[in-house]
Amino acid sequence: MAVLSTGQLTLADYSKRTNPDGKIDPIAELLSQQNDVLEDVVFREANQATSHLATIRTGLPPVYWRSYNQGVPNSKSTTAQIVEPCAMMEARSPIDKKLLTLEDNSAAFRLSEDSAFIEAMSQEFTNKLFNGNVGIDLKTFSGLATRYSSTTAGNGGNVILAGGVGSDNASIYLVVWGEQSVFCTFPKGSQAGLQARDLGEQKMFDANGYAYQAEETLFQWDAGLVVKDWRYVVRIANIDVSDWVGVTGTQASTAATNVIKLMMRAIARIPNMNMGRAGFYCNRSIQEGLMIQALEKSSNALGINQALSQFGQQINQLTFMGIPVRGVDALGIAETLVS
């Protein structure tokens, strides 16, 4: 039984969205975020109903030199399989039917609310893409920060430390998205991305169990993350943001831990840049500094180039060695130090 709660829009909420002539006023989306990683992510249908099974090569077969009239031993390669889950994200938006009839603003009012749900789910997916941790929340999937969290792990060679030791640390990720490297999944037989379904008029119940009619929208996004080949992700961790902004200390231009130098090191650790679509991902503070340096540097490594957005619009795209540098607000400036 659906029950009215603080998750229901009220007449007071409606009044806060209308202008003096009774029309729905365009809302200033102060809570929207920049999460450009969604332009690059490769989605692939999972090969199982609720998960994806990936086979990876773990060992090459021994090979031998031989002489005439002499044989060689049989040999074989070794493989392993990993299973990555698809998680389910869902939200519901019921709005009182009578509230929607005010001033004939039904469609505009629902759209004003639906756009907030779409933004919220985009933010949540991006946050889990980088920061998800199955060890804390079994309903989700592990993100890149969880998978690349130690220099001594099996993939530790792709975790580069930028020297920060304070409390304002950030990371940059280099990811090569592709079906044989890193990709996101959706359950077998379903659809990729955010799905919004108008459930129409539904009977709802308030806190006292009394019924009323509401128009309901169901939002669903089922997805998982598969790192099939760990070599195609590099994390530059422990970037001291205050040093970066001030171009001092660990981020002085001459420092070995300067972000520009480490981004070059990150590229060098990718086996084959032609395996997919590459992108650097960082927060606004890091992106801002890179943009300033792109204007000041005479080097061609950093640049601001003409490009097309996913909607076909001309944009100025920050690049490093020809690789797009995307802004991701889900990446903060108070990360746990990586060692």
Q: What does the pLDDT read at residue 264? A: 96
Question: What is the per-residue pLDDT across 263-318, written as a single tens digit (0 to 9) for each?
Answer: 999 999 999 999 999 999 999 999 999 988 887 765 567 777 665 555 455 567 89
Q: What does the pLDDT read at residue 105? A: 66
**Does residue 333 sit within a domain?**
no
Q: What does the pLDDT read at residue 15? A: 47
Q: What is the CA radius of gyration of the chain?
A: 25
Q: What does the pLDDT read at residue 257? A: 97
Q: For residue 8, what pLDDT band results from cuts at 50, 70 and 90?
A: low
**3-state SS track over 24-74:** ECCCCCCCCCCEHHHHCCCEEECCCCCEEEEEEEEECCCCCCCCCCCCCCC
**Does residue 133 sit within a domain?**
yes
- Residue 14, pLDDT > 50, answer no
Q: What does the pLDDT read at residue 261? A: 95
Question: Contact, 289 vs 263, CB < 8 A?
Answer: no
Give the rounded percent of residues in the chain with a pLDDT score beyond 70. 85
Q: For residue 184, what pLDDT band results from cuts at 50, 70 and 90?
A: very high
Q: What does the pLDDT read at residue 263? A: 97
Q: For the residues 28-44, what does the mean pLDDT come to?
A: 76
**Does residue 61 sit within a domain?**
no
Q: What does the pLDDT read at residue 102? A: 76
**Does residue 73 sit within a domain?**
no
Q: What does the pLDDT read at residue 75? A: 96
Q: For the residues 12-28, what does the mean pLDDT come to?
A: 49
- Residue 55, pLDDT > 70, answer yes
**3-state SS track over the chain:** CCECCCCCCCHHHHHCCECCCCCECCCCCCCCCCEHHHHCCCEEECCCCCEEEEEEEEECCCCCCCCCCCCCCCCCCEEEEEEEECEEEEEEEEEEHHHHCHHHCHHHHHHHHHHHHHHHHHHHHHHHHHHCCCCCCCCCCCCHHHHCCCCCCCCHHHEEECCCCCCCEEEEEEEEECCCCEEEEECCCCCCCCEEEEEEEEEEECCCCCEEEEEEEEEEEEEEEEECCHHHEEEEEEEEHHHHHHCCHHHCCCCCCCHHHHHHHHHHCCCCHHHCEEEEEECHHHHHHHHHHHHHCCCCCEEEEEEECCCCCEEEEEEECCEEEEEECCCCCCCCCCC
Q: What does the pLDDT read at residue 157? A: 96
Domains in the chain: how many in total? 1
- Residue 27, pLDDT > 50, answer no
Question: What is the per-residue pLDDT across 200-246, written as a single tens digit (0 to 9) for each?
Answer: 999 999 889 999 999 999 999 999 999 999 999 999 999 999 999 99
- Bridge partner residues of 149 (DSSP): none
**Does residue 68 sit within a domain?**
no
Q: What does the pLDDT read at residue 229? A: 96
**Does residue 55 sit within a domain?**
no
**Does residue 66 sit within a domain?**
no
Q: What does the pLDDT read at residue 90? A: 96
Structural domain boundaries, residue 87:
11-50+83-327
Q: What does the pLDDT read at residue 299? A: 58
Question: What is the per-residue pLDDT across 122-132, written as a single tens digit (0 to 9) for each?
Answer: 999 999 999 99
**Does residue 75 sit within a domain?**
no
What mean pLDDT is reported for the chain? 87
Question: Contact, 232 vs 176, CB < 8 A?
Answer: yes
Q: What does the pLDDT read at residue 98? A: 87
- Residue 28, pLDDT > 50, answer no
Q: For the residues 49-70, what does the mean pLDDT come to?
A: 94
> Would you state the structure tokens that stand for residue 146, as one six-digit string?
């969880």
